[in-house]
């Protein structure tokens, strides 16, 4: 009796989440013996995967709250020009109004008399923009390098892996500071800088995926049909390599937001926009008397990043069923 | 093969592998820094406020900043081959000395944060894996996800608010009491008090990573055949947990922790800023701001070497934890 069969049987029902489970369990119970061939229990087609995604997220209260928080932050960022049409850096009231003491400024004002809530609402837009741009760029560079290295192998792989390794060896945050100091800080350069330090991780991941997938039959078939390398990489292998990359992307957005906030806190952010990190940096001097100035924007960062990580966990459960450990 | 010769082989292999990487790091950072607008003389002149064009040209010639990029790179590499990292115009001392001065502070902070993170992280992970799916597991999972999501500099500030400002238990910054004449045990205890907050703030993020990682690898290891065999032999659950499950779960953990050594030195920039801790991260930040590129290059090279060394140590550790690893080059 091949042991792999037994293992697959034992693990299989637990791997199929939520709705699909009942049907699978019934069919498993009907099986007369463990020697039966293992039917692929994880559906591969796109629509059922999407349905599974929704159903798993729906049954996971943590993922639901993560999604809700993220939706709220995104709405806040998108509607910031409507909610607070003026410049959030403008002085609107007397300084040091504590949160909850003035109905006109529910979260109070900072040391110059700028509205805290206006800053947090506008900061949401900045954080999310940097998070999304940086992740997009990082994925673009990382997946391209990883795909080429993994697909072609040989010397291409050796050279690209070495370059990746050099970038990965450089200490991330020092590198970030260097890049931002070279290019004047703006949302665009911050995103590029973050992408520069995050792509090596993506490259390693996609290299591994492409190395495995290029040996598969469907790639051989595509090759024998005379497809070009670019076509094979983009339309044949990439879709299969995507699930782990998507999971990484959600975590990358989270860490990009953290990096942006740290840079802005150090005074290396875009000076023309208000960001959560720069608000904390500005409030730092008044920690003794008005600690709410640091506490509130930091709380916003924490909630946003937490929401992204909760979603990342849920995505991991759905998209990487084999890597994920049964619950 | 004995473990000593295996360790030596690993070290040799890593050394061979490290040379091109380190060279790549130096050349890449050197060229990158050439893109930066302004140099150390600009900043120094700006701060002095009274520099003429002639004195600035003289200073550039003095520090060799007027030569073409290629020539400077070659002479930098030649100096490097002699263990000379160059001279800092800003601090007016050799870079090597600057780094040695700041190194103990950085290593102490990063080292204690890493140790704390490993101890607490693995303990939490073991606890979560043992109570898999129960309330303890869920609460701790969410808690570790929160640790993972909190910006380190922010938690640093909040700890200052609580423990320094409100409770007055711990100092809010610095590395020792200024003007303290304490020696021996008293001096060490004094320094420990200053280390608590920075260490905790730096380690929270890593505690979360290690807790999550050790939880998942322990749960994975629990389902393996050798654990079932151990149980069938009648071994006690505690013995199985520590000798069989945890030992195997330690392999991915050491890999990740090795990768963090370099990151902690660099990532402690913000923590060093929050607590005014005199370390390499802070020095790097000041070097960028002062365009003191000799210092920055030295730090980048140094922390890269540290990453390489840490990876070698991890390889050796893997050989000790799991004798099947590292026996031949094919597994690498």
ipTM entry: 0.81
Same domain, B250 and B156: yes
A39 within domain boundaries? no
Same domain, B73 and B125: no
Query: Distance of CA A247 to CAs A310, A321, B86, Å?
Result: 11, 12, 44
Interchain pair A172, B263: CB under 8 A:
yes
> Cα-flanking dihedrals φ and ψ of residue A67, to 5°?
-60, -40
A253 within domain boundaries? yes
Residues whose CB falls within 8 Å of the CB of residue B111, separated by 6 or more in sequence, listed in order: none
Q: Is residue A217 over pLDDT 80?
A: yes
Same domain, B144 and B240: yes
CATH number of B187's domain: 1.10.3720.10
A-proximal residues of B, 17-76, CB under 8 Å:
20-22, 24-25, 28-29, 32-33, 35-37
Interchain pair A266, B304: CB under 8 A:
no
Q: CA-based angle A218:A223:A225, to the nearest 5?
A: 95
Beta strands in chain B (DSSP E): 87-88, 93-94
Q: Is residue A193 over pLDDT 80?
A: yes
pLDDT digits (tens, 9 = 90+) for B91-112: 878 888 888 888 888 888 888 9
A11 within domain boundaries? no
Same domain, B108 and B231: yes
List the structure tokens of B248: 């195997």
Size of interface A-B (CB pairs under 8 A): 142
Contact criterion met (CB below 8 Å) for B197 and B170: yes
What's the number of domains chain A is made of? 1
A279 within domain boundaries? yes
A50 reaches B (C-beta below 8 A): no
Interchain pair A262, B308: CB under 8 A:
no
Confidence of residue B317 (pLDDT cuts 50, 70, 90): confident
Confidence of residue B9 (pLDDT cuts 50, 70, 90): confident
> Cα-flanking dihedrals φ and ψ of residue A35, to 5°?
-75, -5
Same domain, B160 and B236: yes
Of A27 and B48, more confident: B48
Same domain, B108 and B193: yes
| pLDDT score for A39 | 44
CATH number of A250's domain: 1.10.3720.10
B28 within domain boundaries? yes
Structural domain harbouring A247: 60-96+103-319
Same domain, B149 and B248: yes
What secondary structure does DSSP assign to B266-290, as a single string? HHHHHHHHHHT--SHHHHHHHHHHT
Three-state DSSP class for A66? helix
Contact criterion met (CB below 8 Å) for A269 and A130: no
d(CA A58, CA A24): 20
Same domain, B77 and B158: no
Contact criterion met (CB below 8 Å) for A293 and A282: yes
A-proximal residues of B, 270-309, CB under 8 Å:
270, 273-274, 281, 284-285, 288-289, 296, 299-300, 303-304, 307-308
Name the closest residue on chain A to residue B144, using Cα atoms: A306
What's the number of domains chain B is made of? 2
Closest CA to B126 of B315, B259, B253: B253
d(CA B58, CA B87): 16
B97 within domain boundaries? no
B309 within domain boundaries? yes
A258 reaches B (C-beta below 8 A): yes
List the structure tokens of A146: 């990883």
Interchain pair A266, B269: CB under 8 A:
yes
Structural domain harbouring B150: 102-289
Distance from the B165 Cα atom to the nearest Cα atom in chain A, whole angstroms: 6
Helix, strand, coil share (%) of chain B residues, nearest 5: 80, 0, 20
What secondary structure does DSSP assign to A267-325, as a single string? T-S-TTS--HHHHHHHHGGGTTT-THHHHHHHHHHHHHHHHHHHHHHHHHHHH-TTTSP
d(CA A97, CA A100): 9
Average pLDDT, integer, range B60-77: 76
Residue A272: burial class (beta carbons within 10 Å; 0-12, 13-18, 19+): exposed
Same domain, B174 and B285: yes
């Amino acid at each position: 009796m091949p042991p792999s069969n037994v293992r697959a049987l034992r693990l299989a029902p637990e791997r199929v989440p939520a709705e699909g489970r009942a049907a699978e369990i019934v069919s498993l119970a009907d099986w007369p013996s463990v020697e039966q061939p293992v039917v692929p229990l994880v559906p591969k087609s796109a629509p059922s995967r999407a349905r599974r995604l929704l159903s798993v997220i729906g049954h996971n209260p943590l993922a639901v709250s993560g999604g809700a928080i993220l939706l709220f932050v995104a709405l806040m960022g998108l509607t910031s020009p409507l909610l607070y049409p003026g410049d959030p850096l403008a002085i609107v009231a007397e300084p040091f109004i504590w949160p909850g003491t003035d109905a006109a400024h529910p979260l109070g004002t900072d040391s110059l008399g700028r509205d805290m809530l206006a800053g947090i609402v506008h900061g949401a837009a900045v954080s999310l923009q940097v998070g999304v741009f940086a992740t997009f760029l990082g994925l673009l560079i990382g997946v391209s390098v990883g795909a080429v290295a993994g697909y072609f192998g040989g010397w291409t792989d050796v050279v690209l892996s070495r370059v990746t390794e050099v970038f990965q060896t450089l200490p991330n945050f020092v590198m970030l500071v260097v890049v931002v100091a070279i290019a004047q800080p703006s949302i665009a350069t911050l995103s590029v800088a973050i992408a520069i330090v995050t792509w090596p991780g993506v490259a390693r991941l996609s290299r591994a995926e492409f190395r495995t997938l290029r040996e598969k039959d469907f790639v051989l078939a595509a090759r024998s049909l005379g497809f070009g390398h670019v076509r094979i990489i983009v339309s044949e292998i990439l879709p299969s390599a995507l699930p782990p990359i998507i999971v990484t992307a959600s975590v990358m957005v989270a860490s990009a937001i953290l990096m942006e906030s740290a840079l802005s806190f150090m005074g290396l952010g875009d000076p023309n926009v208000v960001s959560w990190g720069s608000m904390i940096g500005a409030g730092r001097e008044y920690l003794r008397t008005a600690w709410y100035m640091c506490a509130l924007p930091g709380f916003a960062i924490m909630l946003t990043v937490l929401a992204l990580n909760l979603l990342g966990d849920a995505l991991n459960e759905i998209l990487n069923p084999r890597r994920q450990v049964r619950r | 093969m004995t473990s000593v010769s295996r360790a030596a082989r690993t070290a040799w292999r890593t050394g061979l592998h490290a040379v091109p990487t380190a060279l790549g790091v130096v050349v890449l950072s050197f060229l990158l820094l050439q893109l930066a607008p302004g140099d150390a003389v600009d900043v120094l002149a700006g701060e002095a406020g009274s520099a003429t064009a002639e004195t600035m040209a003289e200073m550039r010639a003095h520090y060799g900043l007027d030569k073409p990029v290629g020539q400077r790179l070659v002479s930098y590499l030649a100096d490097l081959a002699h263990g000379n990292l160059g001279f800092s115009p800003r601090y007016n001392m050799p870079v090597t000395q600057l780094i040695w001065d700041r190194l103990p502070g950085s290593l102490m902070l990063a080292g204690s944060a890493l140790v704390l993170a490993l101890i607490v992280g693995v303990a939490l992970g073991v606890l979560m894996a043992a109570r898999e799916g129960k309330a303890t597991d869920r609460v701790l999972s969410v808690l570790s996800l929160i640790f993972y999501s909190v910006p380190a500099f922010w938690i640093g500030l909040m700890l200052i608010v609580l423990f320094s400002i409100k409770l007055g238990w711990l100092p809010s910054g610095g590395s020792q009491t200024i003007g303290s004449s304490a020696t021996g045990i008293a001096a060490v205890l004094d320094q420990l008090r200053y280390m608590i907050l920075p260490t905790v703030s730096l380690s929270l993020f890593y505690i979360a990573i290690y807790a999550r990682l050790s939880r998942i690898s322990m749960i994975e290891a629990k389902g393996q055949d050798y654990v079932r065999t151990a149980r069938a032999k009648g071994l006690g659950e505690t013995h199985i947990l520590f000798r069989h499950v945890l030992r195997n779960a330690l392999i991915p953990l050491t890999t990740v922790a090795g990768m963090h050594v370099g990151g902690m030195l660099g990532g402690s920039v913000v923590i060093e800023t929050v607590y005014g801790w005199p370390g390499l991260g802070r020095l790097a930040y000041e070097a960028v701001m002062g365009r003191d590129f000799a210092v920055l290059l030295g730090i980048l090279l140094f922390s890269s070497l540290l990453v390489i060394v840490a990876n070698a140590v991890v390889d050796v550790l893997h050989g000790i934890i799991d004798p099947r690893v590292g026996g031949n080059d094919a597994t690498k």
